[in-house]
């Protein structure tokens, strides 16, 4: 697979961003692994790595502080779609997120936004069902194997690109 152009689309807030500065470390039919700097840098968030699980409906990211200490893993529930140009991938954010802290604590976020998006008809029933199914699959994967199995493609891509 040639390295595609990556986009991120959200409905709350309504935006579509070309991820022009993300660097693709690895790409195949199942995953895309990227390194990136924060689009909107904050005092606590500097950079990270992401693994797009193209057939699973989620993206796993490692968020790092400026001193390169791990903040947490951030898991987005998404729908992958054809982007606006040939050989592009649009990652459609389905709002539900999972945060896994280094101490193992897990938080599920933004289910209220998912409900709101459905009520406002920003997403349809198919995408609502996909979000909930992907969230369930992700939680099963986390509980069965911890985050280590999900971050394995990131670790492998970093080691191959060092």
As beta bridge partners, residue 80 has: 91
Residue 68 in 3-state DSSP? coil
CATH of residue 147's domain is 2.40.380.10
Write out the residue range of the structural domain in which residue 70 sits: 5-160
The number of domains in the chain is: 1
Whether 48 contacts 68, CB under 8 Å: no
Q: Write out the chain's pLDDT in tens, 162 residues.
A: 679 999 999 999 999 999 999 999 999 999 999 999 998 878 889 999 999 999 999 999 999 999 999 999 999 999 999 999 999 999 999 999 999 999 999 999 999 999 999 999 999 999 999 999 999 999 999 999 889 999 999 999 999 987
Per-residue confidence (pLDDT) for residue 39, from 0 to 100: 86
Instruction: Note the pLDDT of residue 45.
Output: 93
**Tens of pLDDT, residues 93-108:** 999 999 999 999 999 9
Look at residue 148 and give its three-state secondary structure. Answer: helix
């Amino acid at each position: 697979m040639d390295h595609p152009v990556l986009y991120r689309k959200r409905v709350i807030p309504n935006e579509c961003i070309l991820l022009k500065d993300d660097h693709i470390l690895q790409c195949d039919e199942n995953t895309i692994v990227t390194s990136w700097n924060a689009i909107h840098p904050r005092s606590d968030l500097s950079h990270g790595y992401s693994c797009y699980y193209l057939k699973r409906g989620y993206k796993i990211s490692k968020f790092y502080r400026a001193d390169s200490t791990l903040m947490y893993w951030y898991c987005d529930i998404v729908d992958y779609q054809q982007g606006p140009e040939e050989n592009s991938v649009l990652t459609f954010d389905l709002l539900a997120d999972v945060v896994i802290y280094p101490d193992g604590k897990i938080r599920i976020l933004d289910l209220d936004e998912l409900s709101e998006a459905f009520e406002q008809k920003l997403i349809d029933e198919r995408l609502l069902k996909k979000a909930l199914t992907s969230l369930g699959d992700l939680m099963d994967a986390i509980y069965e194997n911890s985050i280590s199995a999900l971050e394995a493609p990131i670790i492998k891509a970093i080691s191959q690109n060092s």
